[in-house]
Amino acid sequence: MAHFDLVIIGTGSGNSIPGPEFDDWSIAIVEDGYFGGTCLNVGCIPTKMFVHPAELADAARHGKALGIDAQLNSVDWKGIRDRIFTRIDAIEAGGRAYRDGDECPNITVFSGHGQFTGTKALHVDLHNGDTAEITGDRFVLAAGSHAVVPEIPGLADANAPFHTSDTIMRIESLPASIAILGGGYIAAEFAHVFSSFGVKVTQIARGSRLLKSQDDDVSAQFTKEASARYDVLLDTKVSGVTETSDGVELVVEGPNGTHTVAAELLLVATGRLSNGARLSVEKAGVELDHHGRVVADKFQRTTVDGIYALGDISTHHQLKHVANHEARVVKHNLAHPESLISSDHRFVPAAVFTDPQIASVGITEAHAIKANIPYVAKTQNYSDIAAGWAREDQGHFLKVLADPATGLLLGAHVIGPEAATVIQPLIQAMSFGQSAHDVAHNQYWIHPALTELVENALLGLPEPSAQQ
């Protein structure tokens, strides 16, 4: 039995915790998969490294309206894939070697699957076939989440072949066709990538719109554009999947009755679930909520003293910037238990890297209405700013919501070019408590940049009543 001052389970954002302030602590790091976690290896980073070439491949579609007649000749999938993973795999290997090597003498890396056996006791099934029993004064649960596979005949029993985001980016060649199950972030981003690369995409969503968690107008616009680019089956349920000689066949039930969809590959993108239960955290006395997430308070403390949690294992914001923020909080609180700091989840932004891009922060208009929150709103179209004229933009916009009394922003929702970047001044305004009026008037806005979208939206909001 080896004992440590600190045991960290998971090397996504958890790996950012060890630093000079803990040089005199003995630390165990337990990692079952890729070193560096989901974002680096199978999440944000490789997906966006595919999204950029996808944008280039798809550029001709936008060029037509501007007098550019171009065509895509070929896509070197293997070349793109190998460029991406040569870089990523080297970072993964380097990160593991660093933590395992002489530069981190106080750290022991356990490569294997950890499961709690008692309050602060972990059993690890090591990849080399051995086992290890480790205990610690403190634990950090940073073990993330995993892709959920729905209880559909063929999938749940693994009788039909399918991919999740863990495997789809490493396939050997581009398929002629792909069926994508799900209407959320991962489905949207991969539908964009594969469609841009010339693959016939059929996306199947059980809801009446794609990206339903977005503002209603954003989700409606995205659904309209996605449906024009590739086949989107809405209000549709998959009741079975079977393997065929050239791929899979899905039995789908939708508004047009029951029929089949054939595709070379199937990607299942139906949400991600906390790894809390897979880590048997309840044996440590750590509570899970009814979604299976580890319960953590604002200081990232679980229900057991000395056990902290961060990122996807405990939050409903399954986002890397949230996991990183929470890791900084845990790091501080481990080092300074006498002066705890709390996580700030007031204004968590997110973006979907599709075409059009989507970004959001704060509440949606539907939420404001449902929760009876007073608001004023302004929708600013890209087509009404100079950078939108340059693109002959159609249908894209920024919607801002503000408190009618104070002029403080309540939410912002963008669909259109560079949405993830365009939204940042609004995230900043919300985070620093700046009013829409001040942000619009008290700085220069570069002309004719896309950020004029933000300036004009803010100028379009009514003056706050408290100042009238």
Ligand X SMILES: Cc1cc2nc3c(=O)[nH]c(=O)nc-3n(C[C@H](O)[C@H](O)[C@H](O)COP(=O)(O)OP(=O)(O)OC[C@H]3O[C@@H](n4cnc5c(N)ncnc54)[C@H](O)[C@@H]3O)c2cc1C
Interface contacts to ligand X, rule CB under 6 A: 9-14, 30-34, 37-39, 43-44, 47-48, 113-114, 142-144, 165, 186, 275, 278-279, 311-313, 318-321, 323
What does 378 interact with, of ligand NAD, ligand X, none (CB < 5 to 8 A by kind)?
Answer: none
Nearer to ligand NAD, 155 or 279 (CB): 155
Token pair 């501007």 is at which residue?
66
What residues have CB less than 8 Å from 170, skipping those under 6 apart?
81, 85
Can you name the residues that pair with 134 across neighbouring β-strands?
2, 122
Beta strands in 324-375 (DSSP E): 350-352, 358-362
Nearer to ligand X, 126 or 251 (CB): 126
Nearer to ligand X, 312 or 393 (CB): 312
Work out the number of other CB atoms within 10 angstroms of the CB of residue 78: 12
- In the DSSP assignment, the letter for residue 467 is G
Token pair 């991919």 is at which residue?
163
Cα–Cα distance measured from residue 284 to residue 119, given in angstroms and rounded to the nearest whole number: 4
**Of the listed pieces 183-191, 299-307, 323-331, 396-404, which binds ligand NAD according to CB under 6 A?**
183-191
What does 323 interact with, of ligand X, ligand NAD, none (CB < 5 to 8 A by kind)?
Answer: ligand X
Give min distance, CB of 357 to ligand NAD, in A.
10
Residues 340-369 that bind ligand NAD (CB under 6 A): 350-353
Tell me the per-residue interface mask from 194 to 233 with ligand NAD, x by CB under 6 A, - otherwise. -----------xxx--------------------------
Question: Which sign does the torsion angle of CA 263, 199, 168, 184 carry?
Answer: negative
Give min distance, CB of 311 to ligand X, in A.
2
Under the criterion CB under 6 A, does residue 418 sit at the interface with ligand NAD? no
Nearer to ligand X, 419 or 436 (CB): 419
Beta strands in 10-119 (DSSP E): 27-31, 107-118
Under the criterion CB under 6 A, does residue 269 sit at the interface with ligand NAD? yes
Can you name the residues that pair with 231 across neighbouring β-strands?
202
What does 301 interact with, of ligand X, ligand NAD, none (CB < 5 to 8 A by kind)?
Answer: none
Under the criterion CB under 6 A, does residue 107 sit at the interface with ligand NAD? no
Nearest Cα to Cα of residue 12 among 92, 109, 107, 128? 92
Under the criterion CB under 6 A, does residue 185 sit at the interface with ligand NAD? yes
What's the angle, vertex CA 321, arms to CA 80 and CA 365, rounded to 5?
105
Under a CB-based contact definition with an 8 Å cutoff, are residues 381 and 388 in contact?
yes
What does 150 interact with, of ligand X, ligand NAD, none (CB < 5 to 8 A by kind)?
Answer: ligand NAD
Cα–Cα distance measured from residue 165 to residue 153, given in angstroms and rounded to the nearest whole number: 20
Nearer to ligand X, 139 or 375 (CB): 139
One-letter amino acid identity for 121? A
Beta strands in 255-396 (DSSP E): 257-263, 265-268, 272-274, 307-309, 350-352, 358-362, 376-381
What does 30 interact with, of ligand NAD, ligand X, none (CB < 5 to 8 A by kind)?
Answer: ligand X
Give min distance, CB of 20 to ligand NAD, in A.
31
Cα–Cα distance measured from residue 253 to residue 237, given in angstroms and rounded to the nearest whole number: 5
Give min distance, CB of 334 to ligand X, in A.
16
One-letter amino acid identity for 224? K
Catalytic residue status for 52: no
Under the criterion CB under 6 A, does residue 272 sit at the interface with ligand NAD? yes
Can you name the residues that pair with 113 across neighbouring β-strands?
125
Which spans of this chain sit near ligand NAD (rule: CB under 6 A)?
A: 150, 181-187, 189, 205-207, 269-272, 318-319, 350-353
Catalytic residues: 447
